[in-house]
Every structure is written in C-alpha cells, then in structure tokens.
Homo-oligomer: A and B are copies of this chain.
Amino acid sequence: MSKVKVLAFSISLDGFGAGPNQGLETPMGEGGMALHQWFMKTRAFRSATGHGGDDAAAEGGAAPSGDADASGDSGATAAENPSERFARDAMSNLGAWILGRNMFGPVRGPWPDDEWKGWWGDEPPYHVPVFVLTHHKRAPLEMAGGTTFHFVTGGAQEALARAREAAGGRDIRVGGGPSTVRQYLAAGQIDEMHLAISPALLGRGEPLLAGIDLVAGGFRVAEHVPTADATHVVLRRG
C-alpha cells in the first residue's frame, strides 16, 4: 500500500519552504538555495544529479554543483553524517511523484510550446512517473531514464489518484512546492513528512505550516536528528 510522503523538505528557521519571487534564475525563490545546503552536500544528491566525481553536468540553478573534489560513492559508513541517510531515504521505494507547476519550471500561463522540459536536463533524477499540477493541458513528456512528466489539469485529487495507480504499491512523494504540500496536508492525505530545518532566515516567501494544525491532523514527532547543517525531523501520523 503506497504511503504519501513529503521527504527532504527544507524549511527556514522562520518557517518558509521557498523564498519570494521564484523564477528562472531563482528556482527556489530569492534566498531559497540556502535551505538546501545540507542536501547538496550529500553523496545521494551528487550521485543522483551526476555531480559525483566532477561538476561538469551542472544544468541550471536547481541542480548546482556539489564540491568538485568530493567523492561520488554512495553507501553508508560508520560515522556518516545523518543527512546522508535522510537524502537516501528521500529517493527510496518511490513509485510516483507529484509536483506543483512551479517545481517543474518558471513558465506561467498556457504552455507556449514543448521547449521547457524541467530543470533537470534530459535525464531527470525521478526515474518514475511524475504528475505535474497545472491549469494548462500538455501532452505527457517522456524523458531518458524512466521519468515521464504527466500534466494534470484536474487538480490535486486527480493527481493523487493517478499517482496511486502508477506507483504500484510503492510510495508517492509530494515534492512541493509549499502550496502543493499544504493542499495535501489540509486534505489529510500526507502520511509522513521529513522536514529539514536549515539555519537560514528568509523573511518572506511561502510558509509551509502556517494555519495547518499538525496535532489535529494526527502527526507526532517520530524522529529528531540535529546536525550542524540542519535539524531533521520526521513527523508521522498515528
């Protein structure tokens, strides 16, 4: 049975999941990249984005290069940073993703053409069906490596139903942005959230939890793993 999860979701100390004024040059909003420093240091991120042994494949702001001299090997070691486990778990046992349109790209309004294919180049790191919420029809977009972007115009519930069907019992990850996560939280449809509270202030942007009562929603703190780069918390229902 698929669980619906929000994973490796970074928020600022002041509760924002993305900065203001998202655009081509600022895919996470202004200042938003600071939220993801913990993740971009991980081997899991670097190997998924092809930044293991070199950073030649940098493909735009959403996939900035890691340390150029760092090893791209994945796998645990005895003293590994706990962020490594969270980064790996965020990609494991996933059968489908759901993304808000802003996560897919900066294009607003009707799709002018099929030019924009996401932030991630020819082979996006998903490798499963990805359901993109949009008000504007577009034919499915098949990418290298198993990722197909499906553009869903029927709303969050249609996307979730299609994701469940596609996931084949594996988990469904709601990738964001904040407003997409909030829709599924408000509907009581998120089973688990791993949040990473990063040591950054944004001041403005999209708050993740404002107005959402997680206690009434049945969530409890299942894990609390502080690290120098971020404080990881896993919230689970039940």
Contact = CB atoms under 8 A, between A and B. Distances in A.
Interface of A: 13-15, 31, 195, 197, 199-204, 207, 209-210, 212-217, 219-221, 224, 226-228, 231, 233, 235
Contact of A221 (B13, B212, B213, B219): B13
Contact of A204 (B14, B199, B213, B228): B213
Q: How many copies of this protein are present in the complex?
A: 2
A13 B201 contact: no
A219 B31 CA distance: 14
Contacts of A13: 195, 197, 221, 233, 235
Nearest to A209: B14
A233 B233 CA distance: 16
A224 B228 contact: yes
B231 A201 contact: no
A199 B224 contact: yes
A188 to B, nearest CB: 14
Which of A212, A219, A226 has its CB near the most chain B CB atoms (within 10 A)? A226
A201 B215 contact: yes
